Amino acid sequence: MADKHTLVIVESPAKARTIAKYLGDGYEVLASVGHVRDLPKSKLGVDVDQDFQPEYVTIRGKKDVLDRLKKAAKDSGAVYLATDPDREGEAIAWHVMEYLDVKDKPVFRATFNEITKSAIQKAIENPGQIDQNLFMAQQARRIMDRLVGYKISPLLWDKVQRGLSAGRVQSVAVRLLVEREKEIEAFVAEEYWTIDADVEGKNPPPFVLRLSKIEGKKARVPDEENTKRILAETEGQSFVVRAVTKKPTRRNPQPPFITSTMQQEAARKLRFSPNQTMRVAQGLYEGISLGDEGPVGLITYMRTDSTRVSESAVEGAREFVKGKYGERYVPEKPRTFTSRRGAQDAHEAVRPTLLDHPPERLASYLDANQMALYKLVWDRFIASQMAAAELEQTTIEVPVQGEKYLFTASGSVMTFSGFLALYEEGREQDEEDEDEVRSRGKRLPQVESGEELKVRRFLPEQHFTQPSSRFSMSSLIRELERRGIGRPSTYAAILSTIMDKKYAERVEGYFRPTDLGRMVTDLLVESFPEILDIKFTAHMEEELDEVEEGKMEWLNVLREFYRSFSERLEQAEISMRSPKTEEVETDVECNLCGSKMVLKWGRNGHFLACSNYPECKNTKPYARDEEGNVVAEEVPQTEEKCDKCGGEMVVKSGRHGQFLACSSYPDCKNTRPIAEIQDGKAVAEEAPPDTDEKCDLCGAEMAVKSGRRGRFLACTDYPKCRGTKNIAEVKDGKAIAVEMPKVEEVCDKCGAPMQVKTGRRGPFLACSAYPKCKNAKPLPEDHPAAQEIKGQAAARPKPIETEEKCENCGKPMVLRDGRHGPFLGCSGYPQCKTIQKATPDILEKYQRTEEESD
């Protein structure tokens, strides 16, 4: 072994670079680049008749990676599998080992919670073997998810529409959203009143007392009539202080982050999606280049549900607090925190790896997102080892009319900041306690028992009870965790899938289930009550955890699950109703022929259609009135004419919103985007400009088209030719294409010329034979074409900072140039992607002229 190097296999190239620095000579560190084998996408891949035997295939594009690893293993003296220390990491290690098929040399499993020199060397010096229980738990979870997804999804395609999916955890999460929405819709607001008394004593300032009890019970004032009666009974009465109590209270810090709490706090404070949080955390864990230090892993492993912290890290935090804040800010004993029941305690909490790397020292090495998340992790961890905050809670009690009415005032004043000097956890709006909010930071004047207060005025106020709020990203994660649905490592994927499949949309930062999400949930609850049952799903998670702990056999879990699932599946194939064939009668009359309209299901959800179809093809979007009855949604009128056939245009709704369509459809299929609604009438966007551009691939004429990212030039010989170009500008009514740099490279797959294309991540090299050949590569930064594109970008006008504020996040807006002209975009991009039209007064205010835009 002395003559041969040692091979260490990890899953990430970034992680490989960091670890290679710590191990030095004699070690070769290579990456599997994630999972290498999985169940096939084209079929179920699980033989349920042969005890759920999985069929694993090499993931597309990974054969070259595996062959490279196999060759390196053959030439090595020993192999260390050092993938992530969790179920997925164990599965990657197992599949790599199976493929390498190394029998003539030792193969070890090395695990570590942080990528630091000491942790890596310790893991290599004290290796173990692959944890079969951990792998079997991952395999059971993967097979169970595959059975649910691949068995139920085709049913939904048949009954509802193609492209839908069901998931063992995903569908339950959507059910939570749907049930919350139904709860909100069914909520009946109740009136109630509060009665405050604005008073003053001998010492300033005046303060407010609130009626808190009536005859010893919590005050409930249901209406104005009772309010007037109470005011009549208390007006003119003496307000004499019965008691003034001052009570010292303490507020302890929160534990360091686990995966779920990190995702919640990043959503609340940084507006990060769970996916974005995990992506940034992955980079901080695997290593960031810190100049001469090279790559350094800055945080511990980010997929954990344990709040445990090593003794050395605790001592380091206490020393840091003492040095920066002083002795008083260090608690007498180190703080320990209890993890939730069922937590896997193998890993530590998420914390900084090195306490000599405070955030301010790393400002020049981290981008904005990395710095924001690193500071959040740092502050939370350091605060967790700080002294409690100390507060003084003052309560003033004033009985009126004997003991019938009790008015109180509370104030809470901080006497010692403790951990709050560094960090305070964010809170959802629905988590705030009204009385706590009213008393927080409120200092009451000095009053004495027996002192008579002067009532300056009474302040009665009407209120109405509010329904539970919709789930935000952080509150949905909290609810999933509370219910035991899914695991911390899966929350990001769950929320992402819900949005991708259009089962929910985000409205002002909160999830609202779509028509599609409600329909699919109702169907699944009817046909698969166990799969959609929250307690059943949590129970399955517990059993999978027991497989991981070696307490249950993975096959027994699958057998138990599949027995009832297969019976439900057979029944659902026969009895599941199909919304595509259902029509619900309504009282809405067709404005074209007078017939009743019916509620039907289409690919964009429910809509109103004339019952006289096909004689009358009138359709309308629908809404519901306060009583829940179906009514026609008010649709803007329009005076626009079709620029293709001269027919009347009408307003229609699609999955991307309202648009103008020719009323002569299907004879004329012309559509136009809506620019704005003026005086209740829809005005079309300007017709696309003409162009003299020719297709570089086939020489045919090009035309201006609209896509998700705006207008572009497309070959008129589509779909035979899929040539496209970006629009540089519109001059004299003609669209002019961006001149992309020419390159000499040829495709290494088919030999066709390569060309420079641009996508949402910037320029790249793509084969000109697309779609026959889909070969594409990143464009290196030092490539002449990349330098030319940079030069073009540098010549464009720079964004202009404005005083306008983003309506979504409050950050300043900047004036930018787009392919359709100037626009206002949020300076918080890409976290906030808000844009709005640059009106003439905005352009004038910031002196943006047409010459500057050109």
| Nearest to 92, CA basis, from 72, 66, 116 | 66
DSSP code per residue over 355-386: TT--GGGGTTTS-HHHHHHHHHHHHHHHHHTS
Dihedral sign from CA coordinates of 800, 804, 805, 806: negative
Q: What does each C-alpha distance from 728 to 122, 212, 796, 853 come to in angstroms?
A: 56, 67, 11, 12
Rounded-to-integer distance, Cα 457 and Cα 833, Å = 48
Alpha-carbon dihedral angle through residues 311, 312, 317, 323, given to the nearest 10 degrees: 130
Residue 320, SS3 per DSSP: helix
DSSP code per residue over 501-544: TTSEEEETTEEEE-HHHHHHHHHHHHH-TTTT-HHHHHHHHHHH
Question: How many of the other CB atoms lie within 10 Å of CB of 324?
Answer: 12
| Nearest to 306, CA basis, from 82, 539, 542, 487 | 487
Residue 175, SS3 per DSSP: helix
Helix, strand, coil tally for the chain in percent (to 5) = 35, 25, 40
DSSP code per residue over 99-135: HH---SS-EEE---SS-SHHHHHHHHHS-B---HHHH
Question: How many of the other CB atoms lie within 10 Å of CB of 772?
Answer: 8
The end-to-end CA distance of the chain, in Å, is 67
**546-579: buried (b, 16+ CB within 10 Å) or exposed (e) per residue?**
bbbeeebebeebbeebbeebeebbeebeeebeeb
| Nearest to 653, CA basis, from 619, 624, 686 | 619
Q: List helix spans (H) across 622-772.
A: none
Rounded-to-integer distance, Cα 194 and Cα 434, Å = 12
Which one of the listed residues 27, 301, 405, 423 is annotated catalytic?
A: 301
590 Cβ neighbours under 8 A, 6+ residues apart: 596, 597, 610, 611, 612, 616, 618
Q: Which two tokens stand for residue 230?
A: 């109470």
Helix (H) or strand (E) holding 610: strand 605-610
Rounded-to-integer distance, Cα 282 and Cα 271, Å = 18
CA 173 and chain centroid, separation: 13
| Nearest to 532, CA basis, from 155, 175, 165 | 175
Residue with tokens 């910037």: 762
Amino acid at the residue 17: R
| Residue 301 designated active-site | yes
Residues present in the chain in total: 854
Rounded-to-integer distance, Cα 713 and Cα 159, Å = 38
- Pairing type for strands 27-31 and 6-10 reads parallel
Report, as residue numbers or ranges, the catalytic residues.
Answer: 301
